[in-house]
Amino acid sequence: MDLEGRLVVVTGGTGALGRAMVGALLEAGARCHVPFRSAAEAERFPFRGHAGVTMAEAGNLADEAGADAAFAAAGGLWASIHIAGGFAFGRLADAEAATLREQVDMNLMSCLLCCRAAVRAMTAGSGGGRIVNIAARPALEWRDGASKVAYAAAKAGVAALTAALAEEVVGQGIFVNAVAPSILDTPANRAAMPKADFSRWATVEDVARAILFLASPENRVVRGAVVPVYGAA
């Protein structure tokens, strides 16, 4: 999957999946632009200073100014991969309204605004490109959203956004898809679920490779898809 010299924005690039994604993109020859919100995470980012990576503080991606800032340096954009999001566990009856709104903002609104910014950047250039969003298993299997209702609803929104936008922009040569991970094998998830069978979880490297194909020029036919990437979980 040759992305030599092509510019790719990766939101959430300093997280576990984001780091694996940036690594895969660099191996494929891409240039990566990584907006970040936390200076501490940016300092720990293993590709900071890499010749193929630019970074920029963008603020809150669920805010128009933050999302637009994330793409300010994205002239000639080929692909945009939207990993940024957040998770909250708990019963709906016990949740504060602020927590519910935060889940919608972090997972759906940020994705909407970044998709909008990506489409604008792609159509301002020669046109064409790839957008890959991150949904989740509860976006496809709603009963899996028990005790994470707001998260499930927001990620289901990401799935609907993906399919609708794919139809809207295909005429401009932009293919929009999403992946829907189950539990990912990350240090944080292992610490939270120490008795789980980690061998059944998808690795971030495997999920990054699936995204890489969807974001590459080799993807000439897949659009509007929400691809399960569950591993054996």
Positive/negative CA dihedral, 24, 26, 30, 36: positive
Asked if 57 and 37 touch (Cβ cutoff 8 Å), the reply is yes
Q: 151 catalytic, yes or no?
A: yes
CA atoms within 13 A on the CB side of 147: 2
DSSP label at 37?
S
pLDDT, tens only, 181-233: 999 999 999 999 999 999 999 999 999 999 999 999 999 999 999 999 999 98
**What whole-number distance in Å separates Cα of residue 210 and Cα of residue 178?**
10
The Cα–Cα gap between 91 and 41 comes to: 30
**Across residues 130-145, what is the average pLDDT?**
97
User: Residue 21: its pLDDT value, please?
Assistant: 98
pLDDT above 90 (res 125): no
Active site residue: 36, 78, 151, 175, which one? 151
What tokens does 48 get?
């900071």
User: If DSSP codes are grouped into helix, strand and coil, which group holds residue 135?
Assistant: coil
Integer-rounded Cα Rg, in Å, for the chain is 17
pTM score: 0.96
Provide CATH code, domain 7-182+204-224. 3.40.50.720
Token duo for residue 75: 């002239």
| Confidence band for 39, pLDDT divided at 50, 70 and 90 | confident
> Strands, E, within the chain: which ranges?
7-11, 31-36, 53-57, 77-82, 129-134, 174-181, 184-185, 202-203, 226-229
